[in-house]
Amino acid sequence: MRLACLFTLVLSAVSAPALAVDIDGRIDAAEWEGARHVTDFRKVQPLTGEPASLRTEAWLLATPEGLAVAFRCDQPPGVPRTPQRVQRDFEDQVDRVNLMVDFDGTGRTGYNFVVSSTGGINDAVITNESNFSKDWDSTWQHAVSEDAAGWTVEMLIPWYIAPMHASRDGKRTLGIYLDRVTGSSGERDAWPAASFKRPRFLSEFQRVDVPAYSQSLLAVTPYVSGLYDNVRGRSHFQEGADILWKPSGQFQLTAALNPDFGQVESDDLVVNFGATETYVSDKRPFFTENQGIFDFSLLDDNSQLIYTRRVGASADDGHGAADIDAAVKLNGSVGGTSYGVLAADERGEAGRFFGAARVTHDFGVQSLGAMLTRVDRPWLDREATVLGVDHHWQPTARLTVATNAVMSDILQRGSHTRGSGGTLLADLEMGNGWRQQWLGMHFGDQLQINDFGYLERNNFNYGHWEVRKRITGLAPDSAYSSHDWHFRIDALDNDHGLRLRRQLRISRSSTLRNGANEDVQLNLNTAAWDDLLTRGHGAIFLPPSLALAFERTSPRHGDWAYELEGEFVSGGLSGNRRMGYDIEFTPTYFVSDAFSVFAGPYYEHTPDWLVWQHDNLIGSFDQHTLQLNAGFDWSIDDRQELRLKLQAIGLDARLRDAYRVDGNGRAVATDEPVEDFSVRNLGLQLRYRYELAPLSYLYVVYGRGGYALDQGDLHSTGGVFRNTFSLRDDEQLLVKLSYRFDI
């Protein structure tokens, strides 16, 4: 079908001032009069660069009230629509449009604004070219209308929504990306033809000059909450306020007084007997607003110099979560230099002080930044200081290089411990769908950043070489529209030369013509050492192992959608002689477009599961886990939603053998007593949310949960799972009211 891509750029500085746009989902020609347009939307999913299959028109206009954008999406009766209503920060595969804006045009930080054809919204911060964080929520206008021929979206993004550099000569240069996704096929059509599957995404946005406008904002959001603990028979009331002051794009301040950092969003349950910490994202408003400047990734999975879940986490004296007196954050810019300062102070003798300062400067094809963090922990007589420097460089149109270096200084009980680390990442687009990547990391055994940051482990050296190939020229009758193949070899040693891993990884990510996504991955590992299992009491040598994983996610077709995951994996002391597996199937049934129910059973069998007991004693267990993830989502109307989330885990582990790890790293059988054990874990949350006004909510949340570790005589896996529902360590009712006043 013929592509007509209409995109309107703003009036030039000499044009007449823009009129106000009424955000009602209906495009009035007079409101958008005088706008330019382009007709070059291209397919970027699959990433062919071909003209789009469906006609899309888009208008962009800078007004004193904000950046106004409109989309007109043609969708004839022959193309199925996805009519389901979605909740904020949805991930559903539905008809939708994306506006992404880099307000400085530097490729450093972007903001994504998503609107579905049924009026659902999603907003996110983009850093490190293609890292999307949906934890951020902001207030902006949007409206949708629909007719037999298609649907229309209008948005208005206020100028105070994000920090930005000062304008020059009455103009501002934005980075702009627009796309439209057809839910039934998964096709994504964009202008410009940039893709987050390439090494560069954010820096490939189209540069657009617009008249410079400035807005200020003072917003105060007081809150009051009441919590009743039905297990302990007591109540707790709390009040406080968040303050947001944005006199201009060059200076923005966020403060929280007596903040309530209790979660109205429930975290996923995790059973972790490993030696490394589980990463959990943070949706607390104070820590998501204007947080992009503080992004300092060490390029190792979720590693960051600032992991905001540390603030208000378990107190150093072990008496529950820490209370926070106050927290403040400010962002600004001077010329081409951006800066940010963050501080938070916890209450009481065991309270900690967290501080951070961040600065970045762009030099065209290069950017340089630094971050300094400081945590005072008087209860532990510990002061942690970390300094990081990061550099991004695009020496050619196809080569991207990112480096960073980090140093830590820990003063505890009068003694200093100093460590260092660094990473180097080079990504090369070779053309014709080929891409190469080189990654090297070094983190010394004395490096410590987890007082404020997150690093899964230190004491390692890592390198990999990866080749990727994108295939899009598939036959028209193929069920697939594209494949992305990845081939990687990597090596991981600890900082003392001990071999921890040698791996060959082959994976394929595919899109299907029915909108589904599919991933397959094979990992082949040589024999290597595990230096974390015994928690510092000697490394253990393990035989070769492998893992084969499969995942498919299908969008709604008719009344059903589903997710399917499965894995075959070996490991432990048995290596490839014993294979384990896990499988999860989560169907979703749509009772109506506004009400859906899901239930996902998960089963796992690990025949040689190694669990540390104490010093150098470990147990090998035959482990079985049965888990259920279930619930429903009900979008009652545009302001109300009701959500149920249930997670129940039943795990039983029966001892095969007990071992001591000798000085040569070999497992030596022992008859020392090690008991069978089981784990039960329950999390239930029923949450009602009413939106009083933008970012003003009434929450009523019922939660129940518990955790039990039982040893000795065990029930069957099914019996352990059934007993999970009797857990009642916590049972609470929370009512929270917050209202934002824009002054």
**Which residue numbers in the chain have pLDDT < 50?**
1-19
Among 190, 215, 240, the domain boundary falls at 215
User: In this predicted structure, what is the pLDDT of residue 301?
Assistant: 81
Please give the residue range of the domain that contains residue 718.
531-743
DSSP for residue 708? E
DSSP SS3 for 289: coil
The reply to whether 72 falls in a domain is yes
For residues 299-317, one letter each, b for 16 or more C-beta atoms within 10 angstroms of the residue's C-beta and e for the rest, the string is bbeebbbbbbebbbeebbe
The reply to whether 459 falls in a domain is no
Hey, which residues does 157 pair with through a beta bridge? 67
Q: How many helices (H) and strands (E) does the chain have?
A: 2, 41
The reply to whether 195 falls in a domain is yes
Domain at 134, CATH number = 2.60.40.1190
Among 167, 198, 215, the domain boundary falls at 215
Give the amino acid at 252. Q
- CA 459 to mean position of chain CA atoms: 26
Handedness of CA 332, 292, 442, 196 (dihedral sign): negative
Pairing of strands 741-742, 42-45: unpaired
Number of domains, the chain: 2
The reply to whether 524 falls in a domain is no
Among 173, 193, 215, the domain boundary falls at 215
Q: What is 217-243 written as a DSSP string? A: EEEEEEEEEEEEETTTTEEEEEEEEEE
489: burial class by Cβ within 10 Å (0-12, 13-18, 19+)? middle
* pTM score: 0.90
Q: How open is the CA angle 458-277-327, to the nearest 5 degrees?
A: 95
Is-cis flag, bond preceding 555, omega within 30?
no
User: In this predicted structure, what is the pLDDT of residue 712?
Assistant: 81
The reply to whether 421 falls in a domain is no
- CA 186 to mean position of chain CA atoms: 21
Which helix (H) or strand (E) covers residue 156, if one does? strand 150-157
Is residue 695 within 8 A of residue 139, CB to CB? The reply is yes
Taking the C-alpha atoms of residue 403 and residue 395, their distance in angstroms, rounded to an integer, is 13
Q: Which of 293, 218, 288 is nearest to 253 (CA)?
A: 218
User: In this predicted structure, what is the pLDDT of residue 2?
Assistant: 33
Extended strands (E) in 591-740: 595-614, 617-635, 640-661, 667-670, 677-693, 696-711, 730-738
Give the amino acid at 565. E
User: In this predicted structure, what is the pLDDT of residue 1?
Assistant: 34
DSSP SS3 for 139: coil
Torsion angle of C-alpha atoms 714, 719, 725, 727, degrees rounded to 10: -10
The reply to whether 59 falls in a domain is yes
Q: Which of 616, 668, 736, 647 is nearest to 264 (CA)?
A: 736
The reply to whether 692 falls in a domain is yes
Taking the C-alpha atoms of residue 172 and residue 207, their distance in angstroms, rounded to an integer, is 10
The reply to whether 250 falls in a domain is no
Q: Which of 334, 393, 341, 345 is nearest to 371 (CA)?
A: 341
Taking the C-alpha atoms of residue 531 and residue 314, their distance in angstroms, rounded to an integer, is 27
Taking the C-alpha atoms of residue 396 and residue 135, their distance in angstroms, rounded to an integer, is 33
